[in-house]
Amino acid sequence: MTGQTGTPFPGHGSEVIVQSELYSRALDAIYQGFAEPDGIGGALNCVRELTGAESATFEVIDPILRQPVTFRSSGVAPAEGDDYLAHFAPRNPRLPTALKQRQGELSWDYQVMDESAMDRDPFYAEFLPRAGLRYFLSAVLERSPQRMVALTLQRTPQQGHVGKADIALMQRLTPHLQRAHRMRGSLVTAYGHDIGTRALDVLKDGVALLDPKGEIVYLNPSLQAISTGSGLFRIDSRGILFGSADLRNRFARAFSVAVSADGLTDSESARDFLAPRPDGLPPCTISLRALHHSRRRTDCPAAAVMMLVRDPMRDGPATHLLQDLHGLTKAEAQLACALSAGMTAVEYAAHRGIKVTTVYTHLKRTREKTGWRSVAELTRRIHEISVGLLNADP
């Protein structure tokens, strides 16, 4: 692999910015995609973009029949997928190795066979060349006597075998893929395959779906909690009501732009603004997105606009991303996000009910792990990481 994964997650330079944005988009897409009825394809697309893979597949396999019972793909032509399922899936030489692996383990070509054996095998010699493919990297997301679930990245002959950086990146992604897969299973068990807006109930960001008049079609528990805790707005039958005249005007302008965009995806389809808190704590970010006609939810057909509220005082994707990218503890990542949002160390200590000396200890360890030498640099870096999360399509 070149470029994107050649130097995994360095501490400095422009490459970490690009990698952070791709990684954050991939994580966002994984969790959102696995929560949507038809969202796995979108998640696979972002994983491909991050890893540079030619294609990606998600398979649920019956270990006894040695045959996929569920097959989703990105970058695979329908004819090739049909050919694989009809003729080559039972003859896939990678399958016996995968069936011996435990949940969370990875596999790749050299664990299966060498180049000369590949040249003699029908799967490698006949099927894969039709699709321009040769090598793979796979992760087992679930393993039981009844089924095996795997996500596989497919590579071209030109890309060659996976390297250490590719394997390290997949190892970072695998726990997220496993959690998203388990979450999907829980949602399907609870609500059936038509997950709909129920999937939004698990998000930590506040979400409301609004009709063209601004009336609430749906809101998730996080939005209700943010409304109660922040004092910025209240929720009633008329919609979202902000406390200050300035925020009411900002929301009205943003909603007008979003609802008039009628599903367009350019910059005019969204407006974002900061909402300062009455208590002086870091502000929330309010984002409005026009819902695409093709993506409007079947259980909320009247929804025209999605409102997202990101509260820096609640754990969000950036917190988890900092833990992944730099090995921060949860407490260190929470502190970094709070400081980047404008909170002082003294304010943070008072808010969390901890000693200021504890805050400075966390800050010292954060600097050691990230290489960021000042709060200004910390703020800039976290902003760069958060851009990808903020600009991702809802």
Predicted confidence at residue 392, as pLDDT, reads 40
65 belongs to a structural domain: yes
DSSP code string of 139-187: EEEEE-SS-EEEEEEEE-TTT-S--HHHHHHHHHHHHHHHHHHHHHHHH
1 belongs to a structural domain: no
Confidence of residue 174 (pLDDT cuts 50, 70, 90): very high
121 shares its domain with 184: yes
- Taking phi over 0 as left and psi of -120 to 50 as alpha, with beta for the rest, 341 belongs to alpha
Sign of CA dihedral 262, 266, 268, 269: positive
Give pLDDT tens digits for 344-357. 888 888 877 889 99
Which CATH number characterizes residue 224's domain?
A: 3.30.450.20
- What's the domain range around 381? 317-390
Confidence check: pLDDT of 155 > 70: yes
Q: Can you tell me the distance from the alpha carbon of 145 to that of 63, in angstroms, rounded to the nearest whole number?
A: 7
210 shares its domain with 74: no
34 shares its domain with 167: yes
307 shares its domain with 324: no
227 shares its domain with 297: yes
Segment 36-42 shows an average pLDDT of: 82
Confidence check: pLDDT of 307 > 70: yes
Could you say which of 163, 191, 219 is where a domain stops? 191
172 shares its domain with 237: no
41 shares its domain with 183: yes
300 shares its domain with 215: yes
19 shares its domain with 111: yes
Backbone angles phi, psi at 64, to 5 degrees: -75, -50
Segment 142-171 shows an average pLDDT of: 93
Which CATH number characterizes residue 19's domain?
A: 3.30.450.40
Q: Can you tell me the distance from the alpha carbon of 322 to that of 335, in angstroms, rounded to the nearest whole number?
A: 11
26 shares its domain with 117: yes
Task: Please state, for a pLDDT cut of 70, what percent of the chain lies above it.
Answer: 80
**In a 10 Å sphere around its CB, with 0-12 CB exposed, 13-18 middle and 19+ buried, how is residue 116 labelled?**
exposed
Contact of 310 with 285, CB cutoff 8 Å = yes
Could you say which of 267, 288, 313 is where a domain stops? 313
- pTM for this model (two decimals): 0.52
271 shares its domain with 363: no
Of 54-58, 141-145, 300-304, 334-338, least confident by mean pLDDT is 300-304
6 belongs to a structural domain: no
Which CATH number characterizes residue 340's domain?
A: 1.10.10
Q: How many domains is the chain partitioned into structurally? A: 3
338 shares its domain with 297: no
Confidence of residue 384 (pLDDT cuts 50, 70, 90): low
Confidence check: pLDDT of 196 > 80: no
Instruction: At 229, list the tokens.
Output: 């805790």
